[in-house]
Amino acid sequence: MSGREMSTLHILWDESHVWGLLAWRAVESMGLPYRLVRAQEIADGLLSRNPPSLLLVPGGTARLKADALGEAGMQAVRGYVAGGGSYLGFCGGAGLGLTGEHGLGLCPWSRASFTDRMQHFVSGHVHATVSAGHSLTPAALPPEPALPVWWPGRFAPEDGHDVEILARYTEPGSDFWVADLPLDTLPPGTFTEWEDLYGIRLRPTFLTGQPCILHGRYGAGSYTLSYTHLETPESPQANLWLAHLVERLTGGPSASGCPATPGDTGNATSGGLRAANPLVPAWELDALPARWHDDGLLRARALFDDIVTIGINHCLFFRRNSWLIGWRAGIPGANLNNLHAAVCTAVSTPPTPAAEDYWNERKADFLNRLALFHKGVTGYLLAERLAMTLSKTFPETVSRQSLKEQRAALFGPPMASGGLYAELLDVLDRLVFLQLHG
């Protein structure tokens, strides 16, 4: 890429949903120049025509991101990095950078499988040891910063490869949860007792010592992969690291004031992208003011708010933080978070002409499908609540198979997406993109 002028930071939008919104908010709040890009644009040659200073790939599902990119898009990303570009991936974006099925192969490591599915259901802040003195590690970080994870995957370390580990997990922070169990509310020794009595392992010791942030080279460029979400709102140590990474990976001096070391990053520019403010502010989704006063969108937001309220009133949902709704194990809370974040963002963001045109075309059909979805989800959630109430006394009154079928009809099969959920999310995802993309 030498001789070509680098443009701005690019954020891959496809199959990111709430995680894409987090990445957008972080970059926007830091005052960094950016552009939201679609997988099809990358497949059509965007990265070679106008190479960005950094390609940021948010969380989500690596498999779905790979499907969206297609072989042409995957090869275009490889070519961009090999030619001197910088790749920064969070969670699902980190998984996309690994080797294996649905991976770009930038990093020679693969993704590790879980010995117990519950090991994936962890969230909150985790302390980590960091590679002090590395050019990509801010000097201002404490020895064991608190870094947020939201249902992360795991790396599978392999010997014989030049992969640098920038951080390893140590111990959970005060807001750490396993599924719907907050660790700080459990008396000491609870997990040990459960293991002895029931033979289940819920303690997050499987994280200890595991790498969570990697860096390495691919051709003339570099990759940085993080299963910690450094873009999380109100996570100052993580946000500081994100701002530092952006500056260094785009060729600027380190946040500590030390000059860049030649070869540390794969994309040297005339100056790095400096964050005006490295702290990502709170994202109070429910308090966002309406800036697009469309009756259909306002109606959509009211229906989603009603779904959330029903879930909270019946102990299926709970307020995890200002932007995330927590959920009881087995409830499709991640799906509803995607929809809720999207509709709140759509209502609170001014429309563009393209967004207005798109919404006017889709509005009537969307609202009809949303009315069916609202009715179906309300019935499903209340049935789940009834099943909880009767589980000890009349366990077969509400069939578990019936609940699975209701969920599949609304949301698609487990670990995938489908049904009315996917149809509604596709419309909202496109709408918000058109609003934010300009």
Two tokens at 257? Answer: 């004031």
Q: Which helix (H) or strand (E) holds 339?
A: helix 333-347
Whether the CB-CB separation of 425 and 342 falls below 8 Å is answered with yes
Q: What is the pLDDT of residue 393?
A: 83
Q: What is the pLDDT of residue 5?
A: 42
Q: What are phi and psi of 165, to 5 degrees?
A: -95, 115
In the predicted structure, residue 40 carries a pLDDT above the cut 90 = yes
Q: What is the mean pLDDT of residues 405-429?
A: 93
Tens-place pLDDT, residues 290-309: 999 999 999 999 999 999 99
The Cα–Cα gap between 70 and 214 comes to 25
Tens-place pLDDT, residues 300-339: 999 999 999 999 999 999 999 999 999 999 999 999 999 9
Tens-place pLDDT, residues 62-77: 999 999 999 999 999 9
Q: What single string gives the DSSP state of each residue in 399-413?
A: -HHHHHHHHHHHH-S
| Angle between helix 295-313 and 333-347 (nearest 10) | 150
Whether the CB-CB separation of 127 and 237 falls below 8 Å is answered with no
Whether the CB-CB separation of 94 and 225 falls below 8 Å is answered with yes
Two tokens at 192? Answer: 């040990």
Q: Nearest to residue 31, comparing CAs of 241, 362, 279?
A: 279
In the predicted structure, residue 258 carries a pLDDT above the cut 50 = no
DSSP structure class, residue 223: E
Q: 169 has which bridge partners? A: 128
Please indicate whether residue 254 or residue 232 has the higher confidence score (pLDDT). 232
Q: What is the pLDDT of residue 252?
A: 60
In the predicted structure, residue 399 carries a pLDDT above the cut 80 = yes
Q: Which residues contact 114 (CB under 8 A, 6 or more apart)?
A: 120, 154
As a whole number of Å, the end-to-end CA separation of the chain is: 27
